Amino acid sequence: MDPEEPIGRELREELVTPADDHSVRDAYGLALLLLLVSSLGMIVAGVPVSAPLALVAALLQVVALLLTLRVSGVRRRTFTAGVVAFVLLFASGVVLTQMRGDATTVAAVALWLGLSICTIGAIAKRIATYRRVTLQLVLGLLCIYMLIGLSFAFAYLLVDLVVPLAFDPSPLRISGCVYYSFITLATVGYGDVSPIAPVARSLAVAESILGQLYLVSVVSLAVSRLGRERRATPLEESE
């Protein structure tokens, strides 16, 4: 082993890149709050996805996702692309209030789902740079938890739009899909909404399993190690 390797490793650790700078306090806390408020707003709306009130709730969701992308330290080009995509998404929603086109609605919801999943990836990439298990890291993990629920909500909405009588009652609309997603993620199971179509049942099972595994393994482990150094992965140890 090269005797100078540890010194080189220390020098690399001292050269903190912008992605490793976690000096912005409570950024993920604000993102988490906006994600929560926007989700509750979509549930309260209780209207079709193309209704004006749903657009207001969607605007809150757009702001929350953009803020989450911003605090996740994505590159400027990626963030700009995200802004353009969100603007197009919201503009398509405005068009929906006039056209009422089913195909356009499905396309807009599919784009929303894709952007939500991309935001999860941005947060995961950001918090992977943390060398210590901090409050910021835990809040970032909770943002991912919220986004998992929202992603499944958009997936349920796609099923609700495409598959007739996929749920009971039907249609669920955007408010019902967000509500059903989070009670499934938390494995509450009130029984007031039931998946009927096979694809809806498969999504419900996947979400309930993923939600429990995520809380039990990822979040609980991070909370138990709060303030400690994060263990290096085998790839990091080999560098």
pLDDT tens-place string over residues 175-234: 899 999 999 999 887 889 999 999 999 999 999 999 999 988 888 888 887 766 655 554
Q: Does the pLDDT of residue 83 top 50, yes or no?
A: yes
In this prediction, residue 154 carries a pLDDT of 92
| Residue 66: exposure state from Cβ atoms within 10 A (0-12, 13-18, ≥19) | buried
**Quick check: 183 and 175 in contact, CB under 8 A?**
no
Domains of the chain by residue range: 26-231
Distance between CA 222 and CA 203 in Å, rounded? Answer: 27
Asked whether residue 34 carries a pLDDT value surpassing 80, the answer given is yes
Mean pLDDT of 39-46: 78
| C-alpha span between 174 and 150 (Å, rounded) | 11
Whether the pLDDT of residue 7 is over 70: the answer is no
Lowest-confidence pick of 2-11, 72-81, 143-152 = 2-11
Within 10 A of 181 (CB to CB), how many other CB atoms are there?
Answer: 28
Is a pLDDT exceeding 50 seen at residue 21?
A: no
Task: Answer whether residue 148 shows pLDDT above 90.
Answer: yes
Specify the pLDDT at position 149. Answer: 94
Can you give the pLDDT at residue 236? 47
The pLDDT of residue 228 is 66
Residue with the larger pLDDT of the pair 232 and 69: 69
The CATH T-level fold of domain 26-231 is Helix Hairpins (1.10.287)
Range with the largest mean pLDDT of 29-43, 61-75, 112-126, 139-153: 139-153
208 Cβ contact list (under 8 Å, min separation 6): 184, 185, 187
pLDDT at 6: 44
User: For the residues 21-32, what does the mean pLDDT come to?
Assistant: 64
Q: How confident is the model at residue 92 (pLDDT cuts 50, 70, 90)?
A: low
What's the rounded Cα separation, in Å, for the pair 50 and 101?
9
The residue with tokens 């140890």 is 237
At residue 47, the pLDDT reads: 59
Structure tokens at 49: 């996805």
Q: What is the pLDDT of residue 155?
A: 95
Average pLDDT value for the chain? 77
